[in-house]
Amino acid sequence: MPVEDFKEKLKKVNQFKIDKSDNLVELIKELADTGFNAKRLAKACEIYKEMVEDKDCTKFFGLAGALIPAGMQGVIYDFIKHDFIDILVTTGASLTHDIAETLGFHHLQGEFKIHELNDTNLHENQLNRIYDVFLPNEVYEGIEDFVSDLVIPDNNIPVSSFLKTLGEQLPDNKNSILKICAEKEIPIFCPAFTDSGLALQLGFHHRDLNLNHFKDMLKMVDLAWDAKHAGVCIVGGGVPKNFIFQSLQFCPTSAIYAIQITMDRPEPGGLSGATLEEAISWGKVNEKAKYSTVISDATIALPIILLYLKKSRKPK
Amino acid sequence: MPVEDFKEKLKKVNQFKIDKSDNLVELIKELADTGFNAKRLAKACEIYKEMVEDKDCTKFFGLAGALIPAGMQGVIYDFIKHDFIDILVTTGASLTHDIAETLGFHHLQGEFKIHELNDTNLHENQLNRIYDVFLPNEVYEGIEDFVSDLVIPDNNIPVSSFLKTLGEQLPDNKNSILKICAEKEIPIFCPAFTDSGLALQLGFHHRDLNLNHFKDMLKMVDLAWDAKHAGVCIVGGGVPKNFIFQSLQFCPTSAIYAIQITMDRPEPGGLSGATLEEAISWGKVNEKAKYSTVISDATIALPIILLYLKKSRKPK
Amino acid sequence: MPVEDFKEKLKKVNQFKIDKSDNLVELIKELADTGFNAKRLAKACEIYKEMVEDKDCTKFFGLAGALIPAGMQGVIYDFIKHDFIDILVTTGASLTHDIAETLGFHHLQGEFKIHELNDTNLHENQLNRIYDVFLPNEVYEGIEDFVSDLVIPDNNIPVSSFLKTLGEQLPDNKNSILKICAEKEIPIFCPAFTDSGLALQLGFHHRDLNLNHFKDMLKMVDLAWDAKHAGVCIVGGGVPKNFIFQSLQFCPTSAIYAIQITMDRPEPGGLSGATLEEAISWGKVNEKAKYSTVISDATIALPIILLYLKKSRKPK
Amino acid sequence: MPVEDFKEKLKKVNQFKIDKSDNLVELIKELADTGFNAKRLAKACEIYKEMVEDKDCTKFFGLAGALIPAGMQGVIYDFIKHDFIDILVTTGASLTHDIAETLGFHHLQGEFKIHELNDTNLHENQLNRIYDVFLPNEVYEGIEDFVSDLVIPDNNIPVSSFLKTLGEQLPDNKNSILKICAEKEIPIFCPAFTDSGLALQLGFHHRDLNLNHFKDMLKMVDLAWDAKHAGVCIVGGGVPKNFIFQSLQFCPTSAIYAIQITMDRPEPGGLSGATLEEAISWGKVNEKAKYSTVISDATIALPIILLYLKKSRKPK
């Protein structure tokens, strides 16, 4: 880039004031011309808003990390309910957690000092720990009852078809991700499905069950191929990130909007921490894409983005 | 902790909904019973609120990192203006950046791809880079004019006294941290003062200048000693964190409120990433203190905490 | 723990000297009584050595992250060759990279400044970037030739059986992980197999291919169930970590040796960064296990551990 | 960079074997053509070797982080003894820890689970914790005896002159950094000296003590100005990093060799995590410099670099 062009693009850092009202949308707008991750978060909000307003955009959403144990089930549910997600790719653990809460079981938390978290004691008391959240064994017993009664319509169907069936058989619930995806016909892909408590119970209770993971993979490629515009929001990285990105190589325009929220860093070379620019070299993200990586715990960034989207949305 | 007590403290993770209004205070309250850093941020907001409402609390604020280049000058200014800070400990760089903006110079930013940030070109064009923010050399020339004209009242005064004088000689400005601290008689400590562009220019233009760093150190110990209640908010760690904490060892009750916002991690053993629990072993934080470490970029967490404090504050 | 017991376990930090010979084994021994990650790395070396010497130990090895592009193919090969791994769980990407190198293609690297890595140019020149390593498109074309000619013995076999067949059909190679695993009958599990370039090409060229992921999952549970002693080494986290750990819940004694090498941190709640102590609460790691988490890039830690194991091994 | 030039610089990633002897120097050489942090560490070793062999090079060494509590006192001592450091910039904490060990006191460590580290108990038992290392209060009492008897030659001398005097008054010791620096006339700069336990005790026992920090700052600028070639090794970042770099702006050629070892990341904008390329924009590092940032715990990287330097050194 010639120096003149570079200089021309420079603007003052916005030394903003918070003095108006308790208004997150205003705050995000102020942050757009600051620096570091505040700017990146503001940019992510803006890009997601554009994705939502772009009627031609297929919105891929990759969800990794224990967000439901951390209380984000309702947030993700609302992303789906309000049409902010067209295709969900997630982990078997997230589906397991979603079923637990949907069946009326709960993840637990409290105020503890580090040395009060004695994992040996927790184990003896059947409390499985996820950082500062606890999942009692009885939750898994509840899931097991549900799984053992589950009607498997057909063997060798894709995982995504199976998950639709599963969502339909769940009770009504105001937060259930599987349920609302089934209702709204939002496909859920789960490439590492057998890496989960849910799959273990399925395997134990339905010994002959097989699901066709390759059909999911090819279906996902077709969805990317057919996308007029592709947009992605990656939460946490992992398999969902790679599965979306490997498919986007087959999207004629690659992703033209891309957001990722992660605490991972690029230098150790793992995909979760890889920059979105790196994805341009692979043809996964378009060279002219609007993109932003927010280095933040998703439990902070995701509710803010949702609030921004809901509040700044044009009335239909 | 006996298992019964542990179990009694467990509560459901709050699977909250964002459905009311664009209201950050409500959101923070919802996050208090979730998990991970959302919970920690909510807890930090609550603890800071308590600190502000506790009339006996001396509020120590440690500020490290290039927050003013990232647009946070007005946010920090407001923490001071609204009496959320009683004693500020910061770096020479932050003071340099504050003077730059106060004199009417600006940090710059823009939309660039990584490969467009060619540091050799930037150097040739006299644009000094701080991650995604740029500081033109001319800013330093402007500061130099100010520094060379500065009236030094007395040699061998504490750095904090010198900074008060400096603040008084700055022009009026709606965001200047040095200015408002001088006006409100909020002491600013800067233990590594000579590690800054400001000090370099002072040294070049006032060759005999000496400042008495030991008097600052002892004054800080006295302030901690005299604090009925001590509360701390640490942003980024570094020398400000250690300087506050080494003084709090002399506070009869140690800190009873403690917040830190950092991206550093504990495992490499550096103080910036050290947990607040570790500080209990040193007698810097009270064993019964309310405390929260938020793993977040300060540019995201700090405006949220400010907004929360301003909105949830009881009218006087 | 009573204070007396605590104090009794305290030893001097070893202020060691490097003055003997260029001898890594000696260095590692010196580091065992230091602090931070040096101590953790030394402990990991010791634990792995014990695992290897324990004839009853089944050694599970989880491999995530782009280690082969970073030059670690020969290191991992040697872990297998020297019987340091009994069961390998990895990602489809690692298998793809292994095939590429085995077929005589190469990952590329060089000395570049950050701004010289223009991903748009790289894309135009068909160079796919993995941090500071480059994978030319022609490599994928070479893999495609191999894949299209591949003899698929049977449909609906487990992924691990398929990978054995694939390894057998690869040419001889002194570094090939798939090849040596096939030869030594070391099972390779790949729960997220369809999340890979290899699987995409299989899907395109063998349209009816299905593999039975559930059989892998159940086979893995059986292997854990049958382990007299279980030991794990987790590199990078991800699906391989969870897949091993979910199986170890069915091992009568859980893991009694556990090592993990990761750059991820626990606080955002994702499994990759979760502590090994957390795994005790789940019954994945035994409460009396010897364990060590090394916060390090695996490209640094893994060759050191291999060198230590090879050198400190008792002659048979 | 034209594409042809880029492609010409590309080389195969080295899929090396560890099969020769327990020889770290060989291993480091193999790692030079790999990727990620293995490559960076190898490059750092090479660059440091060049610095040592360049007779015109002034070697600045910035030391932050609790490396002496972690057992690295002898390693740093050897860097000094073997002329790998010409100018040392460090923290007051490191000097305090060095005095403690030099006077015959010890940092402590042991094998503990996380929940066994109850900081309230530690506090009651006068054990101050630094991650997994413990410093008993009695150590501070021992330092206090030394400090109260210390002969202060002159008031208002630079910190570096005072530290030389202090080193001379320490007993002989095979690991003491202060002692060997005094003997070899290696200057130690400590810009945040009053931010330390050592300074607190000096302040309490020598109430009128003042030290001239500005003279240190200007002396450091002179040293940089006079350096024919400048090389830097930054451990951990912090004030030592900035203090060296602000001085190097006055070195006619800036640093032509630069190494940093850190776990901090660039994105939050703090100096500790800032890339060495960013320093080029400031004129702190030369645009043609050889440089390498190693993302690693210094307790792992530093002994490896020392071993490499000692072993690969040409006999005089």
CB-based burial of residue C154 (10 Å sphere; 0-12 exposed, 13-18 middle, 19+ buried)? exposed
Residue C301 backbone dihedrals phi, psi, to 5 degrees = -75, -40
For chain A, say whether D37 makes contact (Cβ under 8 Å). Answer: yes
User: Residue C24 above 90 pLDDT?
Assistant: no
Inter-chain CB proximity B268 and C118 less than 8 Å: no
Q: How far is CA D150 from CA B232, D145, D147, in A?
A: 34, 9, 5
d(CA A38, CA A59): 24
| Within a domain: A103 | yes
pLDDT in tens, chain B (316 residues): 778 889 999 999 999 999 756 688 899 999 999 999 999 999 999 999 999 999 999 999 999 999 999 999 999 999 999 999 999 999 999 999 999 999 999 999 999 988 889 999 999 999 999 999 999 999 999 999 999 999 998 999 999 999 999 999 999 999 999 999 999 999 999 999 999 999 999 999 999 999 999 999 999 999 999 999 999 999 999 999 999 999 999 999 999 999 999 999 999 999 999 999 999 999 999 999 999 999 999 999 999 999 999 988 776 5
In a domain, D36, yes or no: no
- Which one of C37, C121, C267 would you mutate to disrupt binding with B, by most B Cβ within 10 Å of its Cβ? C267
Q: How far is B106 from chain C (nearest CA, A)?
A: 25
Mutate to test the interface with C, among B6, B129, B267 (most CBs of C within 10 A): B267
- The band of A49, judged by pLDDT with boundaries at 50, 70 and 90, is very high
pLDDT score of B210: 96
Chain A from 205 to 224: CB within 8 A of any D CB: none
% of chain C residues with pLDDT over 70:
98
Distance from CA of A37 to the nearest CA of B (A): 6
The two beta strands, B108-109 and B133-136, are: antiparallel
A298, part of any domain: yes
Contact C265 B269 (CB under 8 A): no
Whole-number Cα distances in Å, D189 to B108, D103, D185, D249, D306: 33, 21, 12, 17, 22
Asked if C39 is an active-site residue, the reply is: no
Task: Check CB contact under 8 Å for B269 and D214.
Answer: no
Is residue A308 pLDDT above 80, yes or no? yes
Q: What's the pLDDT tens digit per position in D238-296? A: 999 999 999 999 999 999 999 999 999 999 999 999 999 999 999 999 999 999 999 99
Contact at 8 Å (CB) between D233 and D45?
no
Contact D58, D223 (CB under 8 A): yes
Q: Can you tell me the distance from the alpha carbon of C28 to that of C51, in angstroms, rounded to the nearest whole number?
A: 17
β A87-90/A188-189 pair status: parallel
Q: Which residue of C has its CA nearest to D280?
A: C113
Q: Are C48 and C259 in contact (CB under 8 A)?
A: yes
Distance from CA of D207 to the nearest CA of C (A): 34
End-to-end CA distance of chain D: 41
Q: What is the dihedral of CA A110, A112, A117, A122, to 10 degrees?
A: -30
Q: Which of D284, D290, D310, D314 is catalytic?
A: D284
Select the residue from A214, A225, A249 to test the C interface by mutation, using most C Cβ atoms within 10 A.
A214
Classify the phi-psi angles of B215: left when phi > 0, otherwise alpha if psi is within -120 to 50, otherwise beta. Answer: alpha
D229 in Cβ contact with D58 (< 8 Å): yes
Position A23 pLDDT exceeds 80: yes
List residues bridging with A63 in a β-sheet: A90, A235
Say which residues have a Cβ less than 8 Å from residue B197's Cβ, sequence separation at least 6. B92, B93, B96, B140, B143, D246
Q: Which is catalytic among the residues A49, A219, A284, A290?
A: A284
State the total domains in chain A: 1
Over chain D, what is the mean pLDDT? 96
Distance CA A75, CA B92 (A): 42
Number of other residues whose CB lies within 10 A of the CB of residue B229 = 17
Q: Determine the pLDDT at residue A313.
A: 79
Q: Alpha-carbon dihedral of residues D262, D266, D268, D269, nearest 10 degrees? A: 100
How many percent of chain D have pLDDT more than 70? Answer: 98
Q: What is the mean pLDDT of residues C211-215?
A: 98
Predicted pLDDT of residue A20: 58
User: Does residue A83 lie within any of the structural domains?
Assistant: yes
> For residue C114, what pLDDT is reported?
83
A81 touches chain C (CB under 8 A): no
φ, ψ at D58 (rounded to 5°): -90, 120
**pLDDT tens-digit map of C138-156:** 999 999 999 999 999 899 9
Q: What is the pLDDT of residues A189-225, one digit of tens each?
A: 999 999 999 999 999 999 999 999 999 999 999 999 9
Neighbour tally for B4: CB within 10 Å: 9
What is the three-class DSSP state of B280?
helix
pLDDT (average), residues C25-47: 96
Phi–psi pair at B108, nearest 5 degrees: -120, 155
Among A36, A117, A267, select the one facing D269 at the smallest CB separation: A36
Average pLDDT value for residue range A33-44:
98
Which pLDDT score, from 0 to 100, does residue B315 have?
66
In degrees and rounded to multiples of 5, residue C147 shows phi and psi of -65, -40
Question: Using CA atoms, how far apart are residues C306 and D219, in angstroms rounded to an integer?
Answer: 47
Residue C107 lies in a domain: no
Position B94 in a domain: yes
A114 and B41 in contact by Cβ < 8 A? no
pLDDT for A22 beyond 70: no
Domain assignment of residue C12, yes or no:
no
In DSSP terms, which residues pair with B233 in a beta bridge? B61, B259
Band the pLDDT of D113: cuts 50, 70, 90: confident
Chain B nearest C-alpha distance from C115 (Å): 4
pTM, 2 dp: 0.97
Closest CA to B101 of B66, B149, B61: B66
Write the ipTM. 0.97
Domain extent at residue B150 = 56-312
C90 to A90, C250, D16: CA distances (angstroms): 18, 20, 21
DSSP string for residues in D52-114? HH-TTEEEEEEE-SSTTTTT-HHHHHHHHHTT--SEEEE-HHHHHHHHHHHTT---EE----G
With contact defined as 3+ CB pairs under 8 Å, the chains touching B are A, C, D
Q: Are A88 and A188 in contact (CB under 8 A)?
A: yes
pLDDT value of position B49: 98
Least confident of A273-277, B2-6, B135-139, C122-126: B2-6
The pLDDT of residue C316? 58
Which of B117, B119, B265 is facing C265, going by the closest CB pair? Answer: B265
Packed helices C36-53 and C24-31: angle between N→C axes, nearest 10 degrees? 110
Question: Tokens in use for B242?
Answer: 């250690």
Residue D121 falls within a domain, yes or no?
A: yes
Which tens digits make up the pLDDT trace of A157-191?
Answer: 999 999 999 999 999 999 999 999 999 999 999 99
C-chain CB neighbours of D106 within 8 Å are 12-13
Q: What is the CATH number for C303?
A: 3.40.910.10
